[in-house]
Amino acid sequence: MLVTCEEMRRIESAAFSRGISAEHLMEDAGLGIARIVRQFHNRPGTCIAYCGKGNNGGDALVALRHLRRWGWSVTVELAHPAEQLAELPRKHLLSLDLSTREDFGGPLVLLDGLLGTGVTGEPRDEVAAVIRRMNSQRLSHNAWVLAIDIPSGLNGDTGEPSAACVQADLTATIGAVKRGLVADAATNHVGRLAFIPLDDLNLDREGFPRLSTPEELRYWLPPRAFDTHKGMCDRVGIIAGSHGMTGAARLASAAAVAAGAGLVTVYAHADIQPVLATACVPEVMVKQVTTYREVLEEPMDVLAVGPGLGRANDSDILALVREWPRAMVVDADALNAVSQDTSILKTCRGPRLLTPHPGEMERLFPRNDRPRIDWFRDFTSQYPPTLLLKGARTIIGDADTCYYNSTGNPGMASGGMGDVLTGTCAALAGQLNGDLLKSAVLGAWICGRAGEMGAAAPFSSPEKLSARIVVELLGAAFSQLREGY
């Protein structure tokens, strides 16, 4: 559930009235921050905590204590004299071991504990100077910045940045997700979103929109029964690829296999069937069809349509989108075909998941300068399919439900990532009895987490990340989700 800053203050006040101490919450928050640093950096390095007067600085200092114990070199930079710190941050500062430790290299991590959600308006001069110094270090020293709860200088309700505003690589929001963090204007300041739950807050997590988190999603993937066989994991059909674009079919089908589909079949015309039959992973069957309408007679449980198809077969694709009686993932050129007549989305025989990037969405349903969330809501209020609107902050849902995806990184801005997502969502739909909402939320999270692992130092980078690497890491992402990462 997303909350305003005032709602968060009331939630915390209620916890304090029940006897929950601020120190206890700070301990939980600081440990959560330290764990996130370790999740994204698999070897120790140097961590600098930039602290203001309040409890955000205290959270950063608790995180430093844990990182120090795990072998990190840690230090503190204060925006104000130490005697001006609030009681708890001052206590943690005095107890922190900042003795010199030899620097063995490794990542440079900056913790933004300067300002919390209680501060509005432009930061004061002394804080603004520290913010500018942090942003400069991020660029000049390739530092990785983690903002605690909210990037300093960002409005927690509107997402509007101040003139001096921290640019974070990841924001670890604590207790509840603040509304401003998912605003369009906030994206480049917030970066990747992570959530640190505080169970003692007794937060109502039933409302929408909300952030996709492993704490919730892990329970959508029940363990398989020991007597599971391939027929129980459903049959996924994929209509993808065309002359010169066979890679889309290869990636989508490989992702479907890696995401657990029982049987995967690619349907292809004669001009590319021989190529795909030898190029797809061995587990994939490639069946030749004369027209894609023939697939209506095939015994598939889920169909994924669109990646790399081109526009030569629009009439067949429109017939499939309209007439296929079971779950279908509609992507890429299938979306472009549908944009000729979006009214068919209201009369489809089975449930549909649409996965447009912004350009495809514009053709389906012009944005007209609306904020992304309003664009999403206006579409889902008029059309019944589940919508996965891709972007740096992917939005997933329908007329009643809305999730913001929390995973992914800029390294995923390369060809083929959408094909992998399509295959993953189709495979999940087969395993989740055609539940396209859960399949889409899970698919986006898992693909994004695989992308994060594929871009991680020291053996890779965002520049090296490719769709093939994401496919190879889907299994690891599933495992991490089940473990609650």
Residue 21 and residue 141 in one domain: yes
Asked if 331 and 361 touch (Cβ cutoff 8 Å), the reply is no
Residue 281 and residue 141 in one domain: no
Q: Which residues contact 282 (CB under 8 A, 6 or more apart)?
A: none
In this structure, are strands 284-288 and 210-211 parallel, antiparallel, or unpaired? unpaired
Which pLDDT belongs to residue 205?
64
Asked if 439 and 458 touch (Cβ cutoff 8 Å), the reply is no
pLDDT digit string, tens, across residues 216-242: 999 998 888 898 888 877 899 999 999
Over residues 130-159, the mean pLDDT reads 97
Q: Is residue 211 part of a domain?
A: no
pLDDT digit string, tens, across residues 38-96: 999 989 999 999 999 999 999 999 999 999 999 999 999 999 999 999 999 999 999 99
Cα dihedral 193, 50, 64, 40, rounded to 10, equals 30
The CATH number of the domain where 248 resides is what?
3.40.1190.20
Which pLDDT belongs to residue 179?
96
Q: Prior bond to 209 cis, omega within 30?
A: yes
Burial of 472 (C-beta count, 10 Å sphere; 0-12/13-18/19+): middle
Residue 346 and residue 466 in one domain: yes
Q: Is residue 335 part of a domain?
A: yes
Over residues 443-455, the mean pLDDT reads 97
Over residues 331-345, the mean pLDDT reads 97
Which pLDDT belongs to residue 410?
94
Residue 202 and residue 235 in one domain: no
Residue 318 — very low, low, confident or very high, per pLDDT cuts 50/70/90?
A: very high
pLDDT digit string, tens, across residues 396-436: 999 999 999 999 999 999 999 999 999 999 999 999 999 99
Over residues 460-485, the mean pLDDT reads 94
Taking the complete model, does pTM exceed 0.85, yes or no? Answer: yes
User: What mean pLDDT is reported for the chain?
Assistant: 94
pLDDT digit string, tens, across residues 247-256: 999 999 999 9
pLDDT at 27 over 70: yes
Among 206, 237, 259, the domain boundary falls at 206
Residue 14: domain span: 2-206
Among 146, 180, 206, the domain boundary falls at 206
Which pLDDT belongs to residue 101?
63
More confident residue, 199 or 180: 180
pLDDT at 100 over 80: no
Residue 173 and residue 303 in one domain: no
Residue 226 and residue 202 in one domain: no
Asked if 198 and 172 touch (Cβ cutoff 8 Å), the reply is no
Count of domains forming the chain: 2
Residue 226 and residue 299 in one domain: yes
Q: Is residue 213 part of a domain?
A: no
Which pLDDT belongs to residue 232?
75
Q: Is residue 348 part of a domain?
A: yes
The CATH number of the domain where 196 resides is what?
3.40.50.10260
Which pLDDT belongs to residue 229?
83
Residue 226 and residue 170 in one domain: no
pLDDT digit string, tens, across residues 252-304: 999 999 999 999 999 999 999 999 999 999 999 999 999 999 999 999 999 99
Residue 20 and residue 139 in one domain: yes
* Cβ-based neighbour number of residue 319 at 10 Å: 18
